[in-house]
Chains A and B, each alone.
Chain A
Amino acid sequence: MLLEKLSNACGVPGREDEVRTLLKETLKDHVDELWTDAMGNLIVRKGNGPVKVMLDAHMDEVGFCVGSITEQGYVLLKKMGGLDDRVLPGRQVWLTDKRIPGVIGAKAWHLTTAEEKSRAISFEHMYVDLGCRNKAEVEALGIEPGEPVYFASTFEHYSDRVVKGKAFDDRVGCYVIARLLMEFDHPGLTLYGAFTCQEEVGLRGARVAAYNLNPDLALAIDGTAASNVAGVEPMDTVTNMGDGPVLYLAEGAILSHEGIFNELIRTSLEESIPHQFKRATGGGTDATGIALQRGGIPACSLSVPCRYIHTAASLCHLDDVDATVQLIHQFLRRVEKGEFRP
């Protein structure tokens, strides 16, 4: 399954090659044109219709890079993207694109004081243990400062419709766009798939892609936080995994384009496809970077709700993925037929 391959592929910000190559191979026979821009965004074009639509999903995932190597042979990390210190100790990681295994070590439970047990280990005290005895042994593996480090986590099915993997933020968005390009034709549109880089460090790739493509409208498809889990009150779940694609009520970094936002809701209601609202402020998606390009580009976020994003094991419901594909397809048909223009 393509989502499995995408989740297992590795790509921290600036090192998206593996994801890009996988998407190129997957899509080359389904699109009319395909290129990589100067920033590293993979752009595909399908159709030549009068309305230019950009579908954006970012290829990069949160992770780390090697900061330095100690004389004793431990690897110290730098974060790439937003990561919670509390979920890191004890995690297995892959170093470099060769996936050399290591573990983010922590002092044994037996040796920690009561005071240490009561607080999270701070990131400065974390290190990766590869079983090496000194710096030279680490370097002999080809590990050097700047090399990427990933959560060692492999895609699997937890149930027939719920899957687990790393990097669902935003490989699930890449998957949604790939499916739209492979499963449907929208001859009335010039449909651009923009698989962007460096989102997790400041929405960088999407800005360049949107500036270059200058579309009539854009949707940014992302994996967003769902918190319908044990111990969270229903009003505080932000989004619910399993309740359908997510529209943002007040995205911290950009307010959704009112016209697109309303049309997505209308489409959802008329086509009996579920939708839900992200009930939180703060955060931001590529829609922000896109909307502010040139004289303004009508842009809106649409996300797939995922639990535990930005950790080694996020969960995603395939019903939400299918509904997101359907909602975008039906929305694009309305644009194609001239029933909606921003």
Chain B
Amino acid sequence: MSGKMLERLQRLASVWGPSGRERKVAAVLSEMIAPYVQEVYTDRYGNLIARRAGGPGGKRVLLVAHMDTPGAVAMNVSEKGLIYLAPIGGMKPFAAIGHRVVWGSGITGVVQHEPVEEAKEVEFKRLFCDIGATSREEALENVALGDVCTFVADLQQLDDLIVAPALDNRAGCAVLLEVAEHLVESDHELLFAFTSHGEVGPRGAGAAAFGVDPDLAFVVDTTPSGDLPRAPRVAVKLGGGPALKLKDAGYMAHQDLSTLVQSVAEAEAIPLQIEISTGHTEAQVVSVAGQGVPTAVIDIPLRYKGTASEMVNLRDLHGSADLLLKLLSRPLVMG
């Protein structure tokens, strides 16, 4: 495994790209994947798609990772120049208080909440961003209504653990880049889709899958781990390896493809966790696109989803890339 994973995460975690405003991150990903593919294009929905040609007898395989992050949109500006916010995607009000954010223009600010007596009074409506403006007019010169901000923070490494904003799902993007770089022998035609609107819906992946019309698909995403106090009872932990999702609130795994993933993990001695969760993934729109697409989800366990300090284990990222590389160097025959 290359040491590039960390380098890639570092770069990707710092790129602004909330749902619906993915152009900047798409440009960065386009540059990062270009050396390993024959063609890169953006579809009508704003998904970035990179194609690596296949050989005779190969399948057409779609690899999906959403590139957008949660954020907050400017809804109102007070007379004092404070920008009131509404969430885009899964940003929680209590997770945003006290954090620094960056707007699309590069302007930064601090998110705070109106004073309250009790924690349960915290609500998004009363959350505002202070960009240092002293009047409504001054604030609007820098941030227009409709502009979106996202968390900004440096990436930190704690041994194998990585802490940064946007790891959901820039970690998945980094895994796809790793696969693109290291795949040597494969007759499969690969379509890497870095999708839009993954945090809201999800949506972009459905359009990407319809446009690509693949034989099968792998979705790489992060999933909240179950190894925290009062976490949802999901038997997935950080450092335990990639998780194969069998079911969530909008998706049932394709049985034959799941079996194949499990057997390859076993044959290659790659630790694999089995996940049954209550969330949503892009697989729910990919699997029903067009005439239907056999779809498997490889999830990277993640702690503190939707905060400025999301946490993943590098070993799980490497395990995910490894598993995909091993899968893609086989014929991918199901059933």
Contact = CB atoms under 8 A, between A and B. Distances in A.
A256 B21 CA distance: 10
Interface stretch (B197-205, B261-269, B305-313, B327-335): B197-205
Contacts of A247: 146
B211 A281 contact: no
Contacts of A279: 75-76, 86, 145
A279 B19 CA distance: 18
A105 to B, nearest CB: 38
A255 B200 contact: yes
A250 interface: yes
Given A280-B86, A281-B87, A296 B20 contact: no
A255 B19 contact: yes
Contact of B20 (A235, A255, A294): A255
Given A255-B88, A295-B43, A249 B75 contact: yes
Contacts of B200: 254-255
A123 interface: no
Contacts of B145: 249, 277, 279
Interface in B35-91: 43-47, 73-76, 78, 84, 86-88
Contact of A292 (B21, B75, B76, B206): B206
A296 B76 contact: no
A298 interface: yes
B304 interface: no
B324 interface: no
Most chain A CB within 10 A, of B43, B76, B211, is at B76
A331 to B, nearest CB: 17
Interface in B1-42: 19-21, 23
Interface string A262-306: 000000000000000101110000000001101111100000000
Most chain A CB within 10 A, of B47, B146, B208, is at B146
Interface string B205-239: 01110110000000000000000000000000000
A281 B86 contact: yes
Contacts of B84: 235
A255 B207 contact: no
A258 interface: yes
A215 to B, nearest CB: 11
A258 B21 contact: yes
Contacts of A296: 43-47, 204, 207, 210-211
Contact of B207 (A249, A261, A277, A294): A294
A170 B86 CA distance: 26
A197 to B, nearest CB: 23
Given A261-B146, A294-B210, A250 B78 contact: no
A281 B93 CA distance: 14
A261 B259 CA distance: 45
A249 B145 CA distance: 7
B39 to A, nearest CB: 16
B203 A254 contact: yes
Nearest to A235: B76
Interface of A: 235, 247, 249-250, 254-256, 258, 261, 277, 279-281, 291-292, 294-298, 342
10 contacts: A235-B76, A249-B74, A249-B75, A250-B73, A250-B75, A250-B88, A255-B19, A277-B145, A295-B211, A296-B207
Interface of B: 19-21, 23, 43-47, 73-76, 78, 84, 86-88, 145-146, 197, 200, 203-204, 206-208, 210-211
